[in-house]
């Protein structure tokens, strides 16, 4: 019997699923476990405190972890070290969130995979591995279309009073933070990208507003312009997107995709269900 623990980790949260012979037997969540923000001890601590009561850490035979920040060998090694500290009797595989998104979207077929959540990224996938990608620069220097960049743009316009009066008042009532609190929480935050992305739910409440749709659509247009079209011949591939921003604003994303020359775009809220299907079939086949 093979017990496989899957994890999909973004900047905000990590979805964990234990599957046995292709069937889901347990689910839980932890905080996002990006090794650029957390050292191995903190990652292990976050995993331990998220485990369901009575969870037996000796049960998983294998752990497959897909995470943001898991591209450089030293970061992958740190995450593997942290996981082995919690699950010492397992085989541990650590891969990038891009490979996780690709497998969730396309299984063993080729495609162009996009991540649009707290952060953003894009790659070409040949059905087995990633063949080309754009180096992520984070929300300070890139990440167009991400929750962090959209949130940063919203906050900038709010602090400069550069938005419609009615929307400005509604946003002020919604977030309830002072000018000083916003600046302090932006600059003195362990996870600034997650804080900035936390303002995006306000936009989802007003996504039919012309100003809001313009703000989000512009960021999606930049995502296609500066990221998707930096890949070689992107329109030769089927395109799919994963992440909360892609899912909740999928109508605007589809409009930007159409403007960029794509007929359609497949959208999923999160990779974990697709990864369960991918690994479940692998287990049953193997």
- pLDDT, tens digit only, all 286 positions of the chain: 588 999 999 777 899 999 987 788 899 999 989 888 889 999 999 999 999 998 999 999 999 999 988 888 999 999 999 999 999 989 999 999 999 999 999 999 999 999 998 889 999 999 999 999 987 776 777 789 999 999 999 999 999 999 999 999 999 999 989 889 988 888 887 778 889 999 999 999 999 999 999 999 999 999 999 999 999 999 999 999 999 999 999 999 999 999 999 988 999 988 898 999 888 765 444 4
- The per-residue pLDDT for 256 is 96
The stretches of the chain forming alpha helices (DSSP H) are 40-50, 73-86, 97-106, 138-141, 147-159, 165-175, 179-187, 192-197, 200-205, 210-226, 244-248, 250-259, 272-285
- Round to whole Å and give the CA distance between 73 and 22: 30
Cα-Cα-Cα-Cα dihedral sign, residues 159, 153, 9, 86: negative
Helix (H, G, I), strand (E, B) or coil at 205: helix
- Round to whole Å and give the CA distance between 243 and 35: 20
Residue 259's DSSP bridge partners are none
- Round to whole Å and give the CA distance between 64 and 284: 16
List of domains in the chain: 3-102+271-285 (3.30.420.40)
pTM exceeds cut of 0.95: no
């Amino acid at each position: 019997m093979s017990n496989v623990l899957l994890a999909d980790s973004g900047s905000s949260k990590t979805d964990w699923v234990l599957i046995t012979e292709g069937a889901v037997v347990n689910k839980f969540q932890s905080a996002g476990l990006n090794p650029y923000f957390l050292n191995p001890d903190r990652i292990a601590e976050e995993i331990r405190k998220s485990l369901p009561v009575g969870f037996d850490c000796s049960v998983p035979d294998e752990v497959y972890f897909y995470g943001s920040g898991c591209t450089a060998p030293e970061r992958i090694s740190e995450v593997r070290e942290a996981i082995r500290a919690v699950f010492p009797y397992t085989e541990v595989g650590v891969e990038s969130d891009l490979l996780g998104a690709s497998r969730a979207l396309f299984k063993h077929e080729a495609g162009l995979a996009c991540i649009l959540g707290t952060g953003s990224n894009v790659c070409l996938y040949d059905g087995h591995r990633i063949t080309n990608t754009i180096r992520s620069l984070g929300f300070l220097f890139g990440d167009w279309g991400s929750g962090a960049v959209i949130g940063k743009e919203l906050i900038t316009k709010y602090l400069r009073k550069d938005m419609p009066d009615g929307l400005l008042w509604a946003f002020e009532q919604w977030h309830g933070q002072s000018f000083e609190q916003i600046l302090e929480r932006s600059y003195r935050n362990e996870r600034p990208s997650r804080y900035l992305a936390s303002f995006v739910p306000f936009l989802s409440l007003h996504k039919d507003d012309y100003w809001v749709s313009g703000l989000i659509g512009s960021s999606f247009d930049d995502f296609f312009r500066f990221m998707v079209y930096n890949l070689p011949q992107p329109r030769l591939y089927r395109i799919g997107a994963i992440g909360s921003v892609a899912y909740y604003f999928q109508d605007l994303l589809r409009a930007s995709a159409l403007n960029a020359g794509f007929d359609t775009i497949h959208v999923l809220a999160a990779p974990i269900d697709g990864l369960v299907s991918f690994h479940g079939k692998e287990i049953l086949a193997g």
